[in-house]
Amino acid sequence: MELKQAKALARSRMGDKRFEHTLNVKKMAVQMARRYGEDPDRAALAALLHDTAKEMPAAQQLALMRANPDLAGEGENRPTPVWHGICAAILARTEWGVTDEGILSAIDCHTTGKPGMNRLDKILFLADMTSAERSWDGVETLRELEMQDLDEAMLWALRQNMDFVRRSGKPLDPMSEATYQDILARRG
């Protein structure tokens, strides 16, 4: 899929605010890709497609996962807010012709991470959290950290995410904690 096609597809599947977010994520992902030696076009494509299932009704997301159990894994047993990444990756693979496993992985895990994340996975995860329109307390710290050390930024971001989810009383996806522990273990 060409970047121009991905941009048009994203535009057609989301409202103005989410599309602005998507363009901001793309800009940040490309900047980080250049910083860390990743292909900027791959980062851009992952960013453009990452939220393409975000505005799908939960029932449609569930149906999509059930229709593609080999691609969804245990997705339907995870908290509903993480379904859109799984579904966007399924759509990218099954309907939009994306075959790059790295791009599909980054889209799939952009909300919680996963053990064994590669650089592109981390770049999209962090770009989603630090895109230009984000203004949460601590985002500037994370923007600085992500340009210095991807793993340290991931640990910081995952702690922030897990603390936020716990404070809000929502269910925490165990994948976030597993990702955190995996990065810690890999750092030694």
Which residue type, as a one-letter code, is found at position 114? K
* Per-residue pLDDT at 188: 76
For the chain, what are the domain ranges?
3-187
Task: Give mean pLDDT, residues 67-86.
Answer: 95
Do residues 178 and 115 make contact, with C-beta atoms less than 8 angstroms apart?
A: yes
Do residues 139 and 129 make contact, with C-beta atoms less than 8 angstroms apart?
A: yes
Q: What is the pLDDT of residues 112-171, one digit of tens each?
A: 999 999 999 999 999 999 999 999 899 999 999 999 999 999 999 999 999 999 999 988
* Per-residue pLDDT at 100: 98
Q: What is the pLDDT of residues 20-59, one digit of tens each?
A: 999 999 999 999 999 999 999 999 999 999 999 999 999 9
Tokens describing residue 25: 């994520």
Which CATH architecture group holds 3-187? Orthogonal Bundle (1.10)
- Greatest CA separation for the chain: 44
